[in-house]
Amino acid sequence: MKKCEECEKYGMSDSDIKDMEELKKFGKACGHMHGHGRGHGRGHGAAGGGVYFMGMIGAAIYFISTAPDFWMGVLGFLKAIVWPALLVFEAFRALIG
């Protein structure tokens, strides 16, 4: 299998290219092979979901434990699900004014 310029640029080996072609057959790759570097479609970087989940659990515990009644606890749980959006909103509000 001959490598193209993009494969050379990202340092992809022949086995990497073959793996990407196999993943594309089964619909597990995005449909284009180049521009993402090595390991695309192999589950690299999956820890972000775990970090988000742990943050959601921590936020839910905090919001529910500080809720004065049941409905505020429900609201706290909903806030725990969207806490990254709230964090970004508050950060921009603090920075911009």
What gap in Å lies between CA 86 and CA 22, rounded to an integer?
40
pLDDT tens string 38-54: 444 555 556 778 888 88
CB 17 within 8 A of CB 7: yes
Residue 51, judged by CB atoms within 10 A of its CB (0-12, 13-18, 19+), counts as exposed
Instruction: Sketch the domain layout of the chain as residue ranges.
Output: 1-42, 47-96
What gap in Å lies between CA 50 and CA 81, rounded to an integer?
14
Q: Is 66 helix (H, G, I), strand (E, B) or coil?
A: coil
pLDDT tens string 45-85: 567 788 888 888 999 999 999 999 999 999 999 999 998 88
